């Protein structure tokens, strides 16, 4: 298994050939298979003697891969898709082949140095001060959790008398905030948004003041603003919320997993005014910054606070305590691949201007899609797109109608668009983050409504 013999050499050629064909050609949409279908076609793959590399690869090519929906397909518009650049995907192969460990400077100095340059680009776009920094983690859930754990630790040191800790966020905050609260055994103070679905600073101030007055043994330790909600792409009133957090002495975290990528575009950067006051933020390059899964950039205003919280100590880790930058010290992880390297490579290879251009292209398609929806006799646009998410409803349809349409759309291999909900009502949404998605793709889908 650990010798590069003729058999492995032949297998390597086939794997590279498959990878290059997949990258060079238009991606298939494909669809999920049932458990029974997969059992029948694949059978048992883990055996005492092994299937052999070529047979295992053939099973993947013929059955397992087609049983997965391609997230980089231009008409994959559900959830938040991915659209890695070709260079990012290619360099992901290099990262896998290089046996890099990305947890410490001692073991991965070159990789960590490169990742930190990519993080600094994001930090500089956000306007955070010199010395800000962090690490790439698996995704927004771990990023938010790590930041909030850091925030609570900071609050505990300042308010030891408090018995219960609270996260303040909007009703539109990402599901991972609730998940983090459950893991941390803290409560959530949910604050209603305005009619445009934004969380406002004055509402935050009022809600927290009232809560503290009524609950003297409880305290809000973090305020979470969302920079582009997953469902609708709405940006909270970041600057005003930041001011409230400063006035109340509360940690200010910005969840920008999807939307904060738009800092890269000059035309949308002003929408995020106030993010420079964040104590921590996240943005997922695997969403709208054209990196492969999985990479979430977690950045702290003062990373030393996070280092004190997250550094693990043990006899076998003392060799790492050399005063150098260890990514494992800034989040809830120890072992980590250098997951930020494909993003760094693509950014270094193409330059930041091409990133802005690609992002603007997706927003242009979103705006054009909104125009088509407003002109469609059966559709109603929910709201004008702020970024690249377009939400709308079909007149007269109930949830079952949306589900049936969505399933047929995928079954006919036209597109992957799933129903969502807003304020209890079903809707459809296009999440347009792929520069290959064209207005012709949108028209193809709308013709079926």
The CATH number of the domain holding residue 238 is 3.40.640.10
Query: Which structure tokens are listed for 28?
Result: 């298939």
Q: How far is CA 424 from CA 18, 170, 195, 389, 421, in A?
A: 44, 16, 15, 19, 6
Query: Which structure tokens are listed for 173?
Result: 């905050």
Specify the DSSP element, H or E, that contains 224. strand 218-226
Q: Does 363 lie in the same domain as 240?
A: no
Q: What is the signed CA dihedral for 159, 165, 170, 172, rounded to 10 degrees?
A: 140
What per-residue confidence (pLDDT) applies to 385? 98
Q: Does 389 lie in the same domain as 254?
A: no
Domain count, the chain: 3
Residue 115 lies in a domain: yes
Q: Write out the residue range of the structural domain in which residue 127 sits.
A: 94-350
Is 211 buried (19+), middle (13-18) or exposed (0-12) by CB count in 10 A? middle
What per-residue confidence (pLDDT) applies to 106? 97
Residue 161 lies in a domain: yes
Q: Which residues contact 25 (CB under 8 A, 6 or more apart)?
A: none
Is 233 buried (19+), middle (13-18) or exposed (0-12) by CB count in 10 A? buried
Q: Does 143 lie in the same domain as 185?
A: yes
Separation CA 307–CA 302 (nearest Å): 9
Q: Does 359 lie in the same domain as 322?
A: no
Q: Does 233 lie in the same domain as 244?
A: yes
Residue 78 lies in a domain: no
What per-residue confidence (pLDDT) applies to 352? 98
Residues 410 and 383: beta-carbon distance below 8 Å = no
Q: Does 250 lie in the same domain as 199?
A: yes
Q: Does 345 lie in the same domain as 285?
A: yes
Q: How far is CA 72 from CA 2, 15, 214, 375, in A?
A: 33, 20, 49, 28
Q: Which stretches of the chain score pLDDT less than 70?
A: none
Q: How far is CA 33 from CA 61, 69, 106, 163, in A?
A: 14, 10, 44, 49
Residues 311 and 74: beta-carbon distance below 8 Å = no
Mean pLDDT taken over the chain: 97
Please tell me the chain's helix, strand, coil percentages from 3-state DSSP, rounded to the nearest 5. Answer: 50, 15, 35
Q: Does 308 lie in the same domain as 217?
A: yes
Q: Does 159 lie in the same domain as 117?
A: yes
Q: Does 357 lie in the same domain as 308?
A: no
pLDDT in tens, 177-202: 999 999 999 999 999 999 999 999 99
Separation CA 104–CA 326 (nearest Å): 4
**Which of 315, 350, 385 is at the close of a domain?**
350
Work out whether strand 187-191 and strand 164-170 pair parallel, antiparallel, or are unpaired.
parallel
| Whole-number CA gyration radius for the chain | 23
Apex 174 CA angle, 116 and 300, nearest 5:
25
Residue 75 lies in a domain: no
Residue 77 lies in a domain: no
Residue 76 lies in a domain: no
Work out whether strand 389-394 and strand 425-431 pair parallel, antiparallel, or are unpaired.
antiparallel
Q: Does 251 lie in the same domain as 208?
A: yes
pTM higher than 0.85: yes
């Amino acid at each position: 298994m650990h010798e590069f013999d003729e058999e492995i050499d032949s297998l390597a050629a086939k794997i590279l050939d498959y990878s290059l064909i997949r990258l060079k050609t238009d991606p298939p949409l494909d669809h999920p298979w049932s458990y029974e279908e997969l059992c029948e076609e694949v059978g048992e793959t883990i055996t005492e003697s092994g299937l052999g590399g070529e047979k295992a690869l053939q099973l993947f090519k013929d059955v397992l891969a087609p049983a997965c929906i391609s997230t980089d397909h231009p008409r994959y518009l559900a959830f938040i898709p991915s659209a890695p650049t070709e260079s990012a995907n290619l360099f992901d192969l290099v990262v896998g082949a290089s046996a890099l460990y990305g947890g410490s400077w001692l073991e991965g100095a070159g990789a960590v140095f490169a990742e930190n340059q990519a993080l600094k680009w994001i930090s500089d776009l956000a306007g955070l001060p010199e010395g800000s920094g962090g690490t790439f983690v698996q995704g927004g859930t771990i990023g938010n959790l790590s930041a909030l754990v850091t925030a609570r630790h900071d609050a505990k040191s300042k308010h030891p008398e408090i018995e219960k800790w609270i996260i303040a966020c909007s009703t539109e905050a990402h599901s991972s905030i609730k998940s983090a609260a459950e893991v941390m055994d803290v409560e959530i103070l949910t604050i209603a948004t305005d009619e445009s679905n934004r969380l406002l600073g004055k509402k935050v101030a009022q809600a927290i003041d009232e809560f503290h007055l009524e609950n003297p043994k409880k305290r809000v330790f973090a305020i979470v603003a969302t920079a582009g909600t997953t469902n609708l792409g709405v940006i909270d009133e970041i600057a005003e919320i930041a001011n409230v957090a400063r006035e109340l002495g509360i940690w200010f975290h910005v969840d920008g997993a999807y939307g904060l990528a738009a800092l890269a575009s000059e035309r949308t950067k002003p929408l995020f005014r106030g993010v420079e006051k964040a104590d921590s933020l996240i943005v997922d390059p695997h969403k709208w910054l054209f990196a492969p899964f999985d990479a979430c950039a977690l950045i702290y205003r003062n990373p030393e606070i996070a280092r004190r919280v997250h550094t693990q100590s043990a006899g076998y880790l003392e060799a790492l305590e050399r005063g150098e930058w260890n990514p494992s010290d800034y989040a809830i992880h120890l072992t980590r691949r250098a997951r930020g390297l494909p993003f760094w490579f693509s950014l270094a290879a193409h330059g930041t201007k091409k990133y802005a251009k690609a992002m603007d292209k997706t927003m242009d398609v979103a705006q054009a899609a909104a125009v088509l929806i407003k002109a469609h006799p059966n559709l109603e646009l929910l709201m004008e797109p702020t970024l690249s998410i377009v939400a709308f409803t079909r007149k007269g349809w109930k949830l079952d109608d949306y589900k049936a349409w969505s399933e047929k759309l995928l079954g006919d291999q036209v597109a992957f668009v799933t129903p969502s909900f807003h304020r209890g009502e079903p809707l459809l949404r296009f999440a347009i983050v792929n520069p290959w998605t064209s207005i012709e793709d949108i028209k193809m889908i709308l013709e079926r409504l």
